[in-house]
Structure 1
Amino acid sequence: MQLIIDSANLNDIRELVEYYPIDGVTTNPSIIVKEKKNFLLLLEEIREVIGCNRELFIQTLAVNAEEIVKEANYIRENILDKLVIKVPATKEGIKAIKALSESGVRTMATAIYTPLQGYLAAKAGATYVTPYVNRIENLDGNAVNVVKEIVEIIEKHHFNSKVLAASFKSVQQVHDVCLIGAHGVTVPPDILRLFLSHRATEANVKVFIEEWQTAYGEKSIIDANKIKI
């Protein structure tokens, strides 16, 4: 199961890649404009931070299929290595995904709210199908069920696509889609940092260190090994 950072902030990406088993970074126009940097320069900097083996997801802005393809090719000419082109799952977007897939371009169908949108995207050749979990719930939809049914459609009909769930506002939402078989999640830094957050874990670590130090007078196992009792 893939774990992706949903951010364009270099400091956040640098920290999370250092500490966690990260598979890539997703961006979108809204995320990028927050950084107030040149578009291509920022993407090049992200690529430098994550290296050439992690995936970088970049979204097109055009609404017409031909223009989407043109933007995708422009991005591919300027940003190298493992690149995935994000395309909203609209009528024009599905047409563009078909064309890009036929050319061997890896794509993500984004802004998905229903299983049938996911079906069309997968059948069109999208590498990734991305349901918006929190946004579905904000519309009083059952986001977990939407993700579950898209996974089932893809697996039952042997589409060569993965469900990469997005739009999270809580750890519980991530937990829920992990359990029902999502192939990956793309998570904002503030939510991802909470994965390890539990007061009991921190309390346990503190006790371990205190008891060890009481016995050996040292916090390090290496130093304690030099002491004879």
Structure 2
Amino acid sequence: MKYILDTANVEIIKYAKEYFPIEGITTNPTIISRENRNFLDLMGEIRAVIGEDIPIHIQVVSNNAQEIAEEGNAIVKKFGKNIYVKIPVTREGIKAIKILKSENIKVTATAIYTSQQALIAAKAGADYVAPYVNRIDNLSSNGCNVVGNIIRQLKAYDLKTKVIAASFKNVQQVDNVANMGVHAVTVSPEIFEKLHMHLFTDASVEQFIKDWKKVYGDKNIRDMI
């Protein structure tokens, strides 16, 4: 499973790249607008931080299929080949996915709430489909079950499309989709920071250090070698 960070904040990306196994960055128009910066400068700085090998998922803002395709082409031309063009699964979006895939441009189909939306996007050629786990939960459905259904359908019909689960409220949701074999998760910085944390881990470390100091004081192992 790939861990992808859902943010356009450069300082957060720098921090996350230093400490965690970040394997991608996802953005959308809302995330970009929060930074209130020149779009080209922001994307260029993110690319400089993460390097060429880590993909960025950039969402279009057009609604017409031809305009979406043109926007996707412009995004890839400007920011390089390791870009996934994010396209919502509207009717125009599905058409645009078909156009861009015929031009060998990588696509992430987003704003997915049902397994059928994901399956149609996959048949249109999407490389990734992004179901919104917590938003589905908020509609009195079960987001994790939808992710599981999508995974099973893609496998049943021998489709190469992968699932990048999105929209998480808590760590348990991330763990649930991981247990289902999801290919990737894109997580907000707030949730991402909690994935590795546990109070008893911190307590264990404190006890280890306390016991060590009783015998060896402030010396660490390097000092003793």
TM-score by structure 1 length?
0.96
Please give the alpha-carbon distance, in whole angstroms, between the structure 2 residues aligned to 1:32 and 1:209.
43
Deviation at 1:156, TM superposition (A): 1.1
After superposition, give the CA deviation of every residue in 1:40-67 in whole Å (9 maximum; x if it has no partner).
Answer: 1111111111111101000000111000
Q: Any idea what SS the aligned residue of 1:8 has?
A: coil
The answer to whether the 8 Å contact 1:170/1:191 transfers is: yes
After superposition, give the CA deviation of every residue in 1:58-80 in whole Å (9 maximum; x if it has no partner).
Answer: 00001110000010111112112
Deviation at 1:30, TM superposition (A): 0.2
Q: Any idea what SS the aligned residue of 1:218 has?
A: coil
Please give the alpha-carbon distance, in whole angstroms, between the structure 1 residues aligned to 2:69 and 2:141.
32
Q: Any idea what SS the aligned residue of 1:44 has?
A: helix
Q: Does 2:207 correspond to 1:207? A: yes
Deviates more, 1:119-128 or 1:72-81: 72-81
Deviation at 1:224, TM superposition (A): 2.9
Matched residue count: 225
| Structure 1: tracts of 5 or more residues without a match | none
After superposition, give the CA deviation of every residue in 1:132-176 in whole Å (9 maximum; x if it has no partner).
Answer: 001101111111111001001111111111000001111111111
Please give the alpha-carbon distance, in whole angstroms, between the structure 2 residues aligned to 1:165 and 1:52.
23
The answer to whether the 8 Å contact 1:209/1:219 transfers is: no
| Structure 2: tracts of 5 or more residues without a match | none
Please give the alpha-carbon distance, in whole angstroms, between the structure 1 residues aligned to 2:58 and 2:7.
11
The answer to whether the 8 Å contact 1:2/1:184 transfers is: yes
Supply the AA of the counterpart residue of 1:59.
Q
Q: Any idea what SS the aligned residue of 2:181 has?
A: coil
Superposed CA RMSD in Å reads 0.9
The answer to whether the 8 Å contact 1:216/1:224 transfers is: no
Alignment-derived partner of residue 44 in structure 1: 44
Please give the alpha-carbon distance, in whole angstroms, between the structure 2 residues aligned to 1:186 and 1:75.
20
- Runs of 4 or more above 4 Å deviation: none
Alignment-derived partner of residue 133 in structure 1: 133
Deviation at 1:81, TM superposition (A): 4.2
